[in-house]
Structure 1
Amino acid sequence: MATTVETITAVVPSLNLRSPANDTQEPKEPAYRYANLLPHFSPATYPPLTPFVHADPGARALAHPDPRSFLANASSVVDLTPNLGTEVRGVSLTELDSDGRDQLALEVARRGLLVFRDQKDFIDRGPEYYLTWGSHFGRLHIHPTSGHPQGYPELHLVYKDANSTFNFELDDSTTTTMWHSDVSYELQPPGLTTFFLLAQPTVGGDTLFTSQVSTLKRLSPQYVAFLRTLKAVHSGVQQAEFSRAGKRGGIVRREPVEHVHPVVRRHPVTGQEALYVNRQFTRRIVGLKREESENILNFLYDHIDRTGDNQARVKWSPNTVVLWDNRVTAHSAIVDYGESKERRHGARITPQAERPVPALDGLQLD
Structure 2
Amino acid sequence: MSVDLVEKPSPSTTTPSSQAAALTVKPLTPILGAEVGGIDLRQELDAQTAARVREALLAHKVLVFRDQPLTDDEQIRFSRIFGKVTPAHPITNGLPDQPAIMQNVKSVMTSRVNELDAIARQQLRANSKGRRLRGWHTDITFVANPTSVTILRGLEIPDGAGDTAWVDLEALYAALSPAFQQLVDGLTAVHGRDDARIGYTPLPRDDGRTTGPFLSEHALVRIHPETGRKSLFVNPVFLKYIPDLTDAEGAALLDYLFEEQAGRIDLQVRVQWRTNDIVVWDNRNTSHWGPLDEIHFAAERIVRRTTVDPEYTTGPTGFRSRQIVGEPFYTLD
SS at match of 1:108: helix
Question: Structure 1: 5+ residue runs without aligned partners?
Answer: 1-57
SS at match of 1:343: coil
Counterparts in 2 of 1:279 and 1:337: CA distance versus 1, 3 Å:
closer
Report Cα offsets for 1:82-118 as digits up to 9, x if no partner: 1100012222233412443233223212211011112
1:148 maps to 2:105:
no
CA contact under 8 A between 2:160 and 2:272: conserved in structure 1?
no
Aligned to 1:89: 37
1:235 maps to 2:179:
no
Aligned to 1:34: none
CA contact under 8 A between 1:232 and 1:263: conserved in structure 2?
yes
CA contact under 8 A between 1:145 and 1:240: conserved in structure 2?
no
Q: Which amino acid aligns with 2:159?
A: T
Residue 109 of structure 1, aligned match among 30, 53, 58: 58
Q: Which amino acid aligns with 2:36?
A: V
Q: Which has the higher contact order (CA 8 A, sep 6+)?
A: 2
Report Cα offsets for 1:290-314 as digits up to 9, x if no partner: 1111111111001101000000000
Cα distance in 2 for partners of 1:97, 1:169 equals: 47
Residue 200 of structure 1, aligned match among 129, 150, 157: 157
TM-score by length of 2: 0.78
Cα deviation for residue 142 of structure 1 reads: 3.5
Identity of aligned residues (%): 27
Aligned to 1:165: 109
RMSD of aligned C-alpha atoms?
3.0
CA contact under 8 A between 1:110 and 1:270: conserved in structure 2?
no
SS at match of 1:157: strand
Aligned to 2:200: 245
Question: Structure 2: 5+ residue runs without aligned partners?
Answer: 115-124, 323-333
Question: Which structure has the larger Rg?
Answer: 1
Counterparts in 2 of 1:240 and 1:216: CA distance versus 1, 3 Å:
farther
In the alignment of these two chains, the number of paired residues is 294
Q: Which amino acid aligns with 2:78?
A: W
Report Cα offsets for 1:222-270 as digits up to 9, x if no partner: 1011111011111122x4545x536xxx425323321111111111111
Aligned to 2:118: none
SS at match of 1:352: strand
TM-score by length of 1: 0.72
1:183 maps to 2:140:
yes
Aligned to 2:291: 334
1:132 maps to 2:100:
no
Cα distance in 1 for partners of 2:106, 2:252 equals: 35
Residue 272 of structure 1, aligned match among 226, 229, 246: 229
Aligned to 2:171: 214
Aligned to 1:362: 318
